[in-house]
């Protein structure tokens, strides 16, 4: 999986936590970590391996391609999601995406109709989409995936 390696100093200096993860999302990079001891992947990255608790980790950059592994359609919108334009009339689909390189990440599934979950299929191919809101220190990035054309 040589194409998943990250060699930039930028990545290797970053700590394995949500702050780094969010900053990379802002740069339109989907980054996770791989345990050098057992190979377990984590997205978002965690400071220790979720499988063997080792702390010898390395960054990997995902291509942003995957498949839908599970989903749910959400009508009661949490406050953190209301800023993205969702409300009772505008529900959203939250999914678990099985990434091409391995590992699973939770993300919004865009360009599907949450009012017709029967049209959303487990296994459908997906491609990453980064959604940005605000500027400067208040900038937020939401990880989303859309059906691959």
Residue 106 lies near Zn ion (rule: CB under 5 A): no
Q: In the set 12, 19, 51, 72, which binds Zn ion (CB under 5 A)?
A: 51
Please, what's the b/e burial string for 104-141 (b: 16 or more CB within 10 A of its CB; e: otherwise)?
bbebbbbebebeeeeebeeebebebbeeeeeeeeeeeb
39 neighbors 4 (Cβ within 8 angstroms): no
Candidate ranges 42-50, 65-73, 76-84, 129-137; the one touching Zn ion (CB under 5 A): 42-50
State in angstroms the smallest separation of the CB of 134 from Zn ion. Answer: 36
Q: In the set 4, 11, 37, 73, which binds Zn ion (CB under 5 A)?
A: 37
56 neighbors 35 (Cβ within 8 angstroms): yes
Our CB check for Zn ion shows the closer of 46 and 67 to be 46
Cα separation, 54 vs 64, in Å, equals 26
Residue 57 lies near Zn ion (rule: CB under 5 A): no
List residues near Zn ion by CB under 5 A. Answer: 35, 37-38, 40, 49, 51-52, 54
């Amino acid at each position: 999986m040589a194409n998943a390696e990250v060699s930039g100093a930028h990545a290797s200096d970053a700590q394995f936590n949500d702050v780094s993860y969010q900053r990379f999302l802002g740069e339109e990079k989907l980054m996770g970590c791989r345990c050098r001891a057992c190979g377990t992947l984590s997205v978002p990255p965690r400071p220790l391996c979720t499988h063997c608790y080792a702390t010898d980790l390395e960054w990997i950059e995902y291509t942003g391609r995957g498949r839908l592994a599970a989903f749910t359609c959400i009508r009661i919108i949490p406050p953190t999601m209301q800023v993205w334009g969702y409300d009772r009339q505008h529900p959203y689909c939250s999914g678990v995406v099985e990434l091409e390189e391995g590992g699973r990440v939770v993300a919004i599934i865009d360009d599907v109709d949450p009012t017709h979950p029967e049209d959303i299929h487990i296994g459908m191919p997906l491609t990453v989409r980064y959604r940005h809101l605000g500027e400067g220190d208040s900038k937020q990035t939401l990880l989303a995936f859309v059906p691959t054309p």
